[in-house]
Structure 1
Amino acid sequence: MKRGAFFKTLGPGILFASTAIGVSHLVQSTRAGAEYGFGLLVFILAANLFKWPFFEFGSRYASATGRSLIDGYQLLHSAYLKLYLVINLLSMFFVNAAVTFVAAGFLQFLFGIELPAAYYYLPSLALFAFTFSFLALGRYAVLDAGIKVIGTFMLLSTLLAFFIALFRGPEAPLVWQPLQTLVRPATLPFIIGLMGWMPSAIDSSTWNSLWTTERIKQSGYQPSVNETVFEFNLGYWISAGLSLCFVVLGAFLLYGTDQTLPNNNVGFASGVVRLYASNLGDWTFPIIAAAGFTIMLGTCIGVMDGYARSTVRAVAVLRNKPESRQQYLFWISLIGLGGFGTIRFFMTSFTELINLATTISFLIAPLIAFLNYRLVFSEQLLASQRPGRAMQVLAVVGIGFLTLFSLGMGFYFLFF
């Protein structure tokens, strides 16, 4: 790809990566390494691999047709789009609450904000207000520019911490645990939650298709399908690689020690930052604290925009009416209020909120994966625009993988 074409295409993949690297990486991957060493690494690798086709299909479909996946669901059958809209409405408040609650913890710790227990919701409220203002004032143009800055800082600071940890080595001996000792009823909810947002929830593939069409409008450049897919894959595999970095950080700095991560957002943030800084050197303290906050801030912005943008588009397609700025403002307002209400309700149970949000995402993954597969192998795309045979096989295996673990989660809820 030529340099000029790359920079004109660059945007949606970086936005996806910044949105993905939040709870799944900073919280879940760190916990996986801290509690199980490298024992759960196979699940992280499997989630990244088997989800990859369905995210890639979003960018591919948008570039090939000029339409979002949401429009494609309607073309398959209106019932699919209605079901997607229901899924969106059921998950948007929990997901936005989860990412904002984590970000609020890092915000409080970064700036040394101490509040009485009764007012712990105020930082979350401030973040919802900031995210709303950021999106209301600039929409995609500001979102695209802001995320590139946040994403660059996030990448550099995380890699710095990772390489320092590798240089110093693990704090305690790493003992490999066989899978049969790890996969049991007590650990299954965490494993499902870990994979639910690894690297992100599959329903967010519609966001990437919308960001792709928006980037084309903004830049005035129509990239080829190969150019779009290359740009997305770059962002995707950066996010996948960083998930492994956080596992290593958790395993090297926490596993086998007497240190634990608290079950509240501020405690978790301070635990991560203080532990990393104490082991990597006090001079890294501002780097780790700032990295954690910027990671989560980028996630908050991307998630709110993604849910609002996809909901507006779904409603517009179902009603066969054009979108409007007022609808976008309405939905980011509603998402902020609903997310804030969810935080107030779950405020005392940080881990349960994260597990609930990630589990919901994983349970609906097989359906979205199937729909994305149907679209890219339909007659809406030319044969030259469709994925190759290897990607088709990987997608079929991925659907089976996601279905199997969703059934496992259902079995767990029924019998344990």
Structure 2
Amino acid sequence: MESNRKQLLRALGPGILFASTCIGVSHLVQSTRAGADYGFQLLIFIVLANLFKYPFFEFGSRYAGATKKSILEGYKQEGSWVLWVYFLLSLASMFTVTAAVTFVTAGMLNNLMGWRLDPTLVSGLILVFCTLVLAIGRYSLLDSLLKVIGSVLLISTLTAFFGVLFKGPIEPVAGFVPKELMEREGVIFLIALMGWMPTAVDLSTWNSLWAVERMKQTGYQTKMREVLFDFNFGYIVTAVLALCFLTLGAFVMYGSGTELSSNSTVFSDQVVKLYTNALGGWAYLIIAIAAFSTMFSTTITVVDGFGRAMGETLRLLFFKTTAIRTLYTIMMVLVAAISFLFILVLSSNLKDLVDLATTLSFVIAPVFAFINYKVIMSDQIEQAYKPKGWLKVLAICGLIFLTLFAIIYLAVYFELISL
């Protein structure tokens, strides 16, 4: 029993990195906005997004557990065209994703430090810092840092959640008119919410990359049950916290007549006050530190994840003999630099930047979901490790769910359906 516990702890890490990636924009921004604007109307959609995306994230970890390789190698074995599809679609989304999370992080840092600096400048400094930290410390430093940050966030969020439950929801202001979900704006926000709930499906490749890196770090070939335990732990934490953030927004802001700001610094102050309204003013500094730490952890994992995934993709496509560390560093620098240019162009409106990134992620999600399903059901995987029963059924239902909502979004956006 003691040996099994030690092995599980040795495998623990990639799931926490996954949770740190998720509990950023999708939770602090989108789940909070959902509660503040629509109360609990979007609760079922948050649950469904977490449920129907689950198999495709799990398949990334499952592939690593079965083969001790990243699922990107599985893409390559299915045909170079599969890897090309992944590469091109990732290029279409990764800069907006990185720009969105970094810009929110800059607002959190401004709020924490009491600065009134241009968030664009702060975003650039954060991207430079993340790139340097990862280039020097790589996976081991990232793993250690995020275990501490994740623990602080989990405790503070659960404390605030139970605090607002004890207080109950605020009384709506006189003349409050709830937003209509089944209007064009509501449907577009719904798709944006589900786009990163818990995160973008294409990020499932990171689970396998981190799992392989963890094996290299510890020198231990993790068993399938240990890989899946680590992943499931991280996934459950992200799903629970999404509901906590929704509740914070619904109990503290819904019906207040106050909307979350599009200015990243003002927005950050509003989010921190969601906690302090539940816990008391004494907690403001603690929560401000936790909120910034959360967004910083998301930014650094996103820079690492895209750098790692794009570096490995380029290696598999073009540079089989090139050291992966060199490609990883080059891609990190490129991701940070181009994302900063996106911030320069789109920084005037936080909501627009976030909605662009999250919506794009959702529209391309069915493609990545299908690729992961195709790889995990292929001959690359031993029969004993292939998904069966409820997981296989859930994956098929998930493909239908993601495809259907992507079509609905496109129909609404191009006004083929009038609302």
The Cα of 1:29 is off from its aligned counterpart by 0.1
Q: Is residue 312–residue 324 contact of structure 2 (8 Å, CA) maintained in 1? A: no
Q: Is residue 365–residue 402 contact of structure 2 (8 Å, CA) maintained in 1? A: yes
Match of 1:92 among 91, 94, 100: 94
Partner of 1:391: 391
How is 1:198-277 mapped onto 2 (pairs within 5 angstroms)?
198-277=197-276
Partner of 1:297: 296
Partner of 1:334: 334
User: How many Å separate the matches in 2 of 1:316 and 1:265?
Assistant: 37
Gaps of 5+ in 1: none
| Equivalent AA in structure 1 for residue 233 of structure 2 | L
User: How many Å separate the matches in 1 of 2:393 and 2:85?
Assistant: 26
Q: Is residue 63–residue 225 contact of structure 1 (8 Å, CA) maintained in 2? A: yes
- Give the secondary-structure state (helix, strand or coil) at the position aligned to 1:321: coil
How is 1:6-45 mapped onto 2 (pairs within 5 angstroms)?
6-45=8-47
Partner of 1:103: 105
User: How many Å separate the matches in 1 of 2:148 and 2:245?
Assistant: 21
The Cα of 1:279 is off from its aligned counterpart by 4.7
User: How many Å separate the matches in 2 of 1:324 and 1:221?
Assistant: 21
Q: Is residue 161–residue 288 contact of structure 1 (8 Å, CA) maintained in 2? A: no
Partner of 1:81: 83
- Give the secondary-structure state (helix, strand or coil) at the position aligned to 1:262: coil
User: How many Å separate the matches in 2 of 1:120 and 1:24?
Assistant: 20
Gaps of 5+ in 2: none
The Cα of 1:120 is off from its aligned counterpart by 3.4
Q: Is residue 18–residue 295 contact of structure 1 (8 Å, CA) maintained in 2? A: yes
Per mean C-alpha deviation after superposition, the further-off stretch among 281-290 and 191-200 is 281-290
Partner of 1:347: 347
1:118-144 deviation digits (Å, cap 9, x = unpaired)? x43111111111111110111111111
| Equivalent AA in structure 1 for residue 366 of structure 2 | P
The Cα of 1:326 is off from its aligned counterpart by 2.2
How is 1:100-249 mapped onto 2 (pairs within 5 angstroms)?
100-115=102-117, 119-172=118-171, 182-249=181-248
User: How many Å separate the matches in 2 of 1:148 and 1:3?
Assistant: 18
Q: Is residue 196–residue 361 contact of structure 2 (8 Å, CA) maintained in 1? A: yes
The Cα of 1:92 is off from its aligned counterpart by 1.3
- Give the secondary-structure state (helix, strand or coil) at the position aligned to 1:339: helix
User: How many Å separate the matches in 1 of 2:331 and 2:398?
Assistant: 32
Partner of 1:405: 405
User: How many Å separate the matches in 1 of 2:76 and 2:126?
Assistant: 34
User: How many Å separate the matches in 1 of 2:328 and 2:179?
Assistant: 48
| Equivalent AA in structure 1 for residue 387 of structure 2 | P
| Equivalent AA in structure 1 for residue 183 of structure 2 | R
Per mean C-alpha deviation after superposition, the further-off stretch among 307-316 and 159-168 is 159-168
Distance 1:320 1:339, change over 3 A: closer
Distance 1:161 1:374, change over 3 A: same
User: How many Å separate the matches in 2 of 1:324 and 1:230?
Assistant: 28
The Cα of 1:320 is off from its aligned counterpart by 5.3
| Equivalent AA in structure 2 for residue 281 of structure 1 | G
- Give the secondary-structure state (helix, strand or coil) at the position aligned to 1:183: coil
The Cα of 1:414 is off from its aligned counterpart by 1.8
User: How many Å separate the matches in 2 of 1:284 and 1:103?
Assistant: 20
Distance 1:30 1:23, change over 3 A: same
Q: Is residue 64–residue 211 contact of structure 2 (8 Å, CA) maintained in 1? A: yes
| Equivalent AA in structure 1 for residue 42 of structure 2 | L
Q: Is residue 163–residue 278 contact of structure 2 (8 Å, CA) maintained in 1? A: no
Partner of 1:381: 381
User: How many Å separate the matches in 2 of 1:364 and 1:68?
Assistant: 21
Query: TM-score normalised to the size of structure 1?
Result: 0.95
The Cα of 1:202 is off from its aligned counterpart by 0.4
The Cα of 1:388 is off from its aligned counterpart by 2.3
The Cα of 1:183 is off from its aligned counterpart by 2.6
Number of residue pairs matched?
Answer: 409
Pairwise CA RMSD: 1.7
| Equivalent AA in structure 1 for residue 133 of structure 2 | F
2:314 equivalent to 1:319 = no
Partner of 2:70: 68
User: How many Å separate the matches in 1 of 2:149 and 2:204?
Assistant: 21
Query: TM-score normalised to the size of structure 2?
Result: 0.95
The Cα of 1:412 is off from its aligned counterpart by 1.5
The Cα of 1:103 is off from its aligned counterpart by 0.5
Partner of 1:283: 282
Distance 1:145 1:180, change over 3 A: closer
Q: Is residue 54–residue 205 contact of structure 1 (8 Å, CA) maintained in 2? A: yes
